[in-house]
Amino acid sequence: MREEMGEEGYRETEMCVRCAGSCCRLQPGHCLPSEFESAEAVRAAVVSGKYTIVLLFDQHIMARVVRPHYKDPEARTGCVFLREDGCELPFSERPYGCRMLKPKEQDDGHCEPQGISIEEAGHMWEESGYLPPIWNSIIPVK
């Protein structure tokens, strides 16, 4: 499925082992369009149930991003790829947003997203031509 395998990013640290993937238990990281070959590849990924399309929507943005599906879709938490011993995907096949989360160095520190933000990724996805028109994705409120 992936055209562009990524080596850029931050590998797991001892801190990640200690916190047991808090980030992955919360929300999956965002993919970039360049990680897929085509609109068909995105569609196949979503149909597989492993990936989903989420809408970023507030007064500043209305855009969609593709990312791994939730482990618990009802609660909208966790990542489908998270196993007891960590992420099942090889590092290079993980979403850009996962690879670019810089682990904290101190227990009282913060893990910091680097590079292309989820909002910027949303704009990239809308311009990619890999998603159906956004209005087809929105159910009108009657």
Residues that bind ligand SF4 (CB under 6 A): 15-16, 19, 21-24, 28-29, 68, 79, 81-82, 87, 89, 94-95, 98, 101, 103-104, 111
77, 26 contact by CB (below 8 A) = yes
Comparison of 83 and 127: residue with beta carbon closer to ligand SF4: 83
Report in angstroms how near the CB of residue 34 gets to ligand SF4 at its nearest.
Answer: 17
Comparison of 108 and 139: residue with beta carbon closer to ligand SF4: 108
The residue behind tokens 């989820």 is: 118
Comparison of 90 and 140: residue with beta carbon closer to ligand SF4: 90
Report in angstroms how near the CB of residue 77 gets to ligand SF4 at its nearest.
Answer: 11
Report in angstroms how near the CB of residue 25 gets to ligand SF4 at its nearest.
Answer: 8
Closest Cα partner for 130 from 36, 31, 45, 29? 36
Cα–Cα dist 116/1, whole Å: 21
Report in angstroms how near the CB of residue 27 gets to ligand SF4 at its nearest.
Answer: 7
Comparison of 64 and 94: residue with beta carbon closer to ligand SF4: 94
Spell 92-112 as b/e; 16+ CB within 10 A means b: ebbbbbbbbbebeeeeeeebe
Per-residue CA distances from 53 to 64, 86, 103, 121, 122 (Å): 6, 23, 26, 12, 10
